[in-house]
Structure 1
Amino acid sequence: MSGEARRTQLAANLQQVRERVAAACTAAGRRPEEVRVIAVTKQYPASDVRILAELGVRDVGENRDQEAAPKATECRDLDLVWHFVGQLQTNKARSVVRYADVVHSVDRLRLVTELGRRVRAAGRTLTCLVQVNLDPESEQGVLGPRGGADPADVPGLAEAIEAEEGLSLGGVMAVAPRQGDPRAAFDRLKAVADDLQARYPHATVVSAGMSGDLEAAVERGATHLRIGTALLGNRGLIVG
């Protein structure tokens, strides 16, 4: 696909996503400005990131460090906010803090400590979201690992993030279970988010919703949507 054809395709996809978000906000009695779209560009090249930036997208998400690090380097001349949205191994923290502005998947104390240590060494600051597990069955491997902390553990993780120099608490993130009504799952997340904001008024981010369930997420208070397929197409598509 030529560069111009890809730009036309991405522009059309972006317009459709923006229309869906606007409609969802109207239905929920919210303003579209309250919701930010993160373009999850995993498995797509840096050239797509550049096109999306030209189209006004400033938030870019990646879920694997080995892909994200070189892509962020290639796009370092752009004014972007990089979100790490995937499961994060502790041994990848040193690399991730060099380019990420926000890590969405903080779900254990050891990771908090390592991110703090590495971000201070890098001379940067990092916003952290506590990932909440909304699907207990995933812990047993029934539906596959999804990650996330038990809701009861969120206050302790939030306190640890706030205590770690170089880190700041941004809010919460979750992935809806593969089965069941996503609205019910996002209701559980909203309860956790409301409790967290009562303790930490600045922790206003609710990262929830992807291409298939963004309307449910907006209805239940999401502030950030992680959109991949609806923007870039099905994963594995070869883009020239």
Structure 2
Amino acid sequence: MNAIAENIKQIRQRIKKAALDCGRSPQDVGLVAVTKTVSPEKIRKAAEAGLDCFGENYIQEADKKIKDLSDTRISWHFIGHLQSNKAKYAVRLFDLIHSVDSLKLAKELNRQAARHGRVQKILIQVNLGGEQTKSGAEKQAAEELVYDVAGLENLSVRGLMTLPPFFDAPEKVRPYFRQLGALRREIAAKNIANVEMAELSMGMTGDFETAIEEGATLVRIGTAIFGERS
């Protein structure tokens, strides 16, 4: 077994344990392998080890990799900051876009999805830490954004995503994960048409077990699978 396959095995075991320890089914937690700066060769090894969902941060980098790996059965997610002028590429390349943070971006994604005759699945990114260096709608504005996006015929809101402030201790991140879980429940309770609060995208290599305890359905893990980025 190569190192990547062994890393994936260990991560899956940790996901399983974290889910079972808090009374959840491990099948309810999806693993998104973060492949920023990771070579197509390493991604192929991960796919051969059983991974089928990969997350990219940059359109240009993703475009080349997706072409190189077109013979594999991989689901691609966009997890980075997305500018409206790149929406036409994102709709063509990605099954799920995690980082919709404004109505302007949503409208352009909707327009491009309509051109392709498809309904684009998206998550609304929420900036719970109020950090100016990070994208995302503020918590108070996120629900309003969900309502606005729900009226766009070629978009399907599938849940929420957050990138909380960085802490060395996972317990310090827990309040942010808990806030996103609570916001998800609040929005789901309103039964908004064209909105399904199925996904919570939160948690990375250093804190994904805490995120699972707080309801994560998608954890985004790169370093623990592929090693430190070059």
Shared fold, TM over 0.5 = yes
Among 179, 185, 194, the residue aligned to 2:176: 185
1:229 aligned onto 2:215: no
Bigger drift between 27-36 and 173-182 goes to: 173-182
- What is the CA deviation profile of residues 153-189 of structure 1, one whole-angstrom value per residue up to 9, with x for unaligned ones? 1122212322112210110000121147111111111
Among 104, 116, 119, the residue aligned to 2:98: 104
**1:16: how far off?**
1.1
Which residue does 1:86 correspond to in 2?
80
**1:28: how far off?**
1.0
Which residue does 1:115 correspond to in 2?
109
Within 5 A, what are the aligned runs for 1:53-202? 53-136=47-130, 138-139=131-132, 145-179=133-167, 181-200=172-191, 202=196
Which residue does 1:43 correspond to in 2?
37
Structure 1 distance, partners of 2:86, 2:60, is 9
Structure 2 distance, partners of 1:69, 1:187, is 34
RMSD of aligned Cα (Å): 1.4
Structure 1 distance, partners of 2:66, 2:109, is 18
**1:103: how far off?**
0.5
**1:68: how far off?**
0.7
**1:191: how far off?**
1.0
Structure 1 distance, partners of 2:164, 2:12, is 21
**1:217: how far off?**
0.1
| Counterpart residue type for residue 29 of structure 1 | G
**1:122: how far off?**
2.4
- SS of alignment partner, residue 42 of structure 1: coil
Among 16, 22, 27, the residue aligned to 1:22: 16
Which residue does 1:4 correspond to in 2?
none
- What is the CA deviation profile of residues 181-224 of structure 1, one whole-angstrom value per residue up to 9, with x for unaligned ones? 11111111111111122224722100000000001100000000
- What is the CA deviation profile of residues 9-64 of structure 1, one whole-angstrom value per residue up to 9, with x for unaligned ones? 10111011111111111221111111000011110111222222211111110011
1:10 aligned onto 2:4: yes
Structure 2 distance, partners of 1:196, 1:54, is 38
- SS of alignment partner, residue 83 of structure 1: strand
- What is the CA deviation profile of residues 93-114 of structure 1, one whole-angstrom value per residue up to 9, with x for unaligned ones? 1111111111100011100001
Aligned residues: 224
Distance 1:155 1:57, change over 3 A: same
| Counterpart residue type for residue 197 of structure 1 | A
TM-score w.r.t. the length of structure 2 is 0.93
Among 27, 34, 38, the residue aligned to 1:33: 27
Unaligned runs of 5+ in 1: 1-6, 140-144
Q: Which runs of 4+ in 1 moved over 3 A?
A: none
TM-score w.r.t. the length of structure 1 is 0.89
| Counterpart residue type for residue 103 of structure 2 | L
Unaligned runs of 5+ in 2: none
Structure 1 distance, partners of 2:53, 2:190, is 27
- SS of alignment partner, residue 197 of structure 2: coil
